[in-house]
Structure 1
Amino acid sequence: MTEVRDGFAGGRAWQRWLGAPGSRRPLWISSLVVAVIQSVGTNAAAQDQSGRASLDAFARVLLVLGPALLVLRYRYPRVAVFGASAVTVVYFAGGYPYGPVFLSVAVACFAAIVTGHRRAAWSAVGMLWVAHVLVAFWLFPWLPPAGDASPPWFQELGFVAWAVAIIAVSELAGVRREQIIRARAEREEAERRRADEERLRIARELHDVLAHSISVINVQAGVGLALLDQDPEQARTALTTIKTASKEALGEVRQVLDTLRAPGEAPRSPAPGLDRLGELKDQASGAGLTVDVRTEGKRTALAAGADLAAFRIVQEALTNVVRHSSSRTAEVLLRYGTGELEIRVDDDGPAAQSAEASGSGGGRGLVGMRERASVLGGSVEAGPRPDGGFRVLARIPFTAPATVSDAPGGAPDKEAP
């Protein structure tokens, strides 16, 4: 059964009046209103029904007992609907005047259907109708009031129409409630999915920033320690590189954390893109890696998301070369084709001894690159080359094509031979 605490359809006014789950009004208030309507309405209707039994103390208890059961209509809907129907049957069998005694059954039936207990509601209403037919057309000679006669059959059609109307309205409300609950569940699932995607995005950003910068710092720290006594000037250069890399890393991490503290606000500084490949070359050079960047095809500007993904893929690929390859050279090729940018990062390998000893294969870097490309409808392939070394090949579609004549940052393209 669907959780009833999620509320039900039927309009906010009905929801407040009936004290439905999710409303702040307690159930006893609406039950009290039903009891007053049944008692006062039946008193008024009895004035024109002199042939029926008079409203004695037992009848008044029955008029209140049915509404009292409505307090249970959402916690125990079966008990409420069958109980209200049974009380109404006893009221009919007593020969008391007709009136709004059906109201408690209608409310209980409504609550049972909108909470998913359709079979109980239909069975209770069917039981009430069968009992009414037996009392009105068969058992009336033995039941009060004395001298009562069988009513015409067309009056029974009114009872049937009332029952069908109550069930139809309740079914419509139940269907609407299920639609609202389903839509709410879909919205919550979409929100959870967006939160997961945002968490993955932030994790990729932090991984790419920290992995690259810490790799450079690690290499330069080793160089500085090795040359501290032999070549102090070279050690100073290594320390300067560490300072620069750590400062840039802190700036990018702060930018990522700012998006967490103030979601929806524009970032204070633009996200990195391919126009910062020169910085990657300098950082890699400081780590002892010579990088050759080449461009083929007509330079095409990328949308911000695609530009950031391209930059991070190159950054992670170069980081892996620094961390896991013995090669001290790498080649980055940017090929602008029809509708997509192809990024190829090659190194001559083989794997560094430290990487082989630890069994590390790049950690989450390759996974992050594939996730970045797949979000944009692209792909990333990585693996050993047939002639030795390692290759990362990424394809990123143009999401906002706009041709520019110069390379990002105003530098002219360097055409491949």
Structure 2
Amino acid sequence: MEDVKPWGPPWREDRRSGRFQRRGLAHPGVAVVAGFIQVMGGDDVAWRPMTPALYAMLLAGPVALVFRKRAPVTVLVIAAAASIAFGTNAAPRWTFAVAPAIALFNLARMGRPRAAAVVAGLAFAAYFGACWGLGDTITLPAVGRPGWREGVLLAIAIAMIIFLGGAAKVRSEHLADMMKVRAERARAKEEQELRQASEERLRMARELHDVLGHHLSLINVQAGVGLHLMEKQPEQAREALTAIKSASAEALREVRTVLDVMRAKDEPAPRRPALGLSRLEELTADAGLPITTEVTGAERPLPPEVDRAAYRIVQEALTNVRKHAGAGATASICVDYLPTALHLAIRNDGPAAETDASAGEGTGIAGMRERAQILGGSVEAGPVDGGFLVSVLLPTPDDGSPA
């Protein structure tokens, strides 16, 4: 049997879903009202003095309404039979048919309009058959027998009740579908927020890795130079220490920027520090090794995502050069603006190894590949002519709109 939510405000729904529904019963309020109407109206329409048997006929239907959710067909049969029994002793009025009408509506509302129509049709035939076929047996006064007008009105009323019950069924299903859609949307939104939070944490971790990895590598190289030159060439050692101070200050500044973004939970969507190829000269100047830079093609504004990814990839490639190429290594950077893409080539003349390729997401060459793949690009890296080459292709619209 299908469970249909009762109509009414939500603060009443909680009470309705209490002990009555736990026992499979309907709220008794409807039954009480129906019983009151039928009993009060019975005195006005009865052709004979009211007896306990007649009162029982009037109350049988309302009492059965309490079980209308558990056995809707049986309740309709009982209510209709009791009203027919009383109707043979009364004038045709609506007051003794309240319980059957409610039971009929309930059955149609529960998605069983055919069963409702069959039971109502049989009850209709039984009532008119009893009033006319058994009129002499039950001593029904002739004036109390319903005519064809009453029959037409009763048939219309039955059809309307079944129709309204079916409409209520459709409405409840529509509301249930709406609630389901809302729940699915809320669940999808929650999943999206969780996914975005996870992606944001990964992005921040990658940012911290890039910032700290680059600057700590530079500090390490300059510290080694300073120690080596401390006694023989103090001026160059001083320059190395100055470079260490500058690199550490820059690292702290960028870390603070990333942390400030992470703390800004109540602000609009966080944005990365303004990094891009416009800062390439600054990046190469702080790299701690000789670097040549070449730009070809029609230089143009890049989408922020592509510009930032290109900067980080170059930064990571230079960090790898410092880590693995050894002292005295040199590097070259070629930036080629293609019509629909950006090509980067970072090459060094030292024996760089792909040591970090398996270190996990966000590190080494694996991190470069991940950045490029997110934007639909690719990264190729490997030994070439006694050195090491990192070749990057990043698709980009030629109008500089965000990717």
Q: TM-score, normalised to structure 2's length?
A: 0.68
* Partner Cα distance (1:90, 1:211) in 2: 80
Matched residues, number: 361
1:304 aligns with 304
* Partner Cα distance (1:344, 1:88) in 2: 84
1:166 aligns with 165
Instruction: State yes or no: 1:282 paired with 2:270.
Output: no
Alignment of 1:96-111 (within 5 A): 96=86, 97-99=96-98, 101-103=100-102, 106=105, 110=109
* Partner Cα distance (1:189, 1:151) in 2: 61
1:272 aligns with 275
**Structure 1 residues 329 and 396: CA distance shift in structure 2, 3 A:** farther
**In the alignment, is the contact (CA less than 8 A) between 2:283 and 2:315 conserved in 1?**
yes
Instruction: State yes or no: 1:243 paired with 2:248.
Output: yes
What percent identity do the matched residue pairs reach?
A: 20
Once the two structures are TM-superposed, the CA of residue 291 in structure 1 deviates from its matched residue by: 3.2
* Partner Cα distance (1:333, 1:151) in 2: 101
DSSP 3-state at the match of 2:259: helix
Once the two structures are TM-superposed, the CA of residue 100 in structure 1 deviates from its matched residue by: 5.5
Aligned residue identity for 1:252 = T
Alignment of 1:339-350 (within 5 A): 339-348=340-349, 350=351
* Partner Cα distance (1:276, 1:91) in 2: 86
What RMSD over aligned residues (CA atoms) do the two structures have, in Å?
Answer: 4.6
DSSP 3-state at the match of 1:382: strand
2:317 aligns with 317
1:224 aligns with 223
**Structure 1 residues 100 and 33: CA distance shift in structure 2, 3 A:** same
- Residue number among 74, 79, 82 corresponding to 1:91 in the alignment: 79
1:338 aligns with 339
2:207 aligns with 208
- Residue number among 341, 355, 364 corresponding to 2:362 in the alignment: 364
Instruction: State yes or no: 1:262 paired with 2:266.
Output: yes
Residue ranges of structure 1 left out of the alignment (5+ in a row): 70-79, 113-120, 403-417
**Structure 1 residues 225 and 25: CA distance shift in structure 2, 3 A:** farther
**In the alignment, is the contact (CA less than 8 A) between 1:332 and 1:343 conserved in 2?**
yes
Once the two structures are TM-superposed, the CA of residue 207 in structure 1 deviates from its matched residue by: 1.1
**Structure 1 residues 18 and 242: CA distance shift in structure 2, 3 A:** closer
**In the alignment, is the contact (CA less than 8 A) between 1:373 and 1:395 conserved in 2?**
yes
2:119 aligns with 131
* Partner Cα distance (2:139, 2:292) in 1: 111
DSSP 3-state at the match of 1:398: coil
* Range moving further from structure 2, 82-91 or 227-236: 227-236
* TM-superposition CA deviations, 1:286-309 (whole Å, max 9, x none): xxx433332112221234344333
Q: TM-score, normalised to structure 1's length?
A: 0.66
* Partner Cα distance (1:333, 1:58) in 2: 99
2:90 aligns with none
Residue ranges of structure 2 left out of the alignment (5+ in a row): 21-25, 87-95
* Partner Cα distance (1:190, 1:266) in 2: 18
* TM-superposition CA deviations, 1:232-287 (whole Å, max 9, x none): 7537356425523531342232233133x3331776x95222222233223422xx
* Partner Cα distance (2:242, 2:186) in 1: 54
**Structure 1 residues 160 and 400: CA distance shift in structure 2, 3 A:** same
**In the alignment, is the contact (CA less than 8 A) between 1:215 and 1:323 conserved in 2?**
no
**In the alignment, is the contact (CA less than 8 A) between 2:361 and 2:367 conserved in 1?**
no
**In the alignment, is the contact (CA less than 8 A) between 1:204 and 1:368 conserved in 2?**
no
**Structure 1 residues 61 and 230: CA distance shift in structure 2, 3 A:** farther
**In the alignment, is the contact (CA less than 8 A) between 1:39 and 1:63 conserved in 2?**
yes
**Structure 1 residues 222 and 325: CA distance shift in structure 2, 3 A:** closer
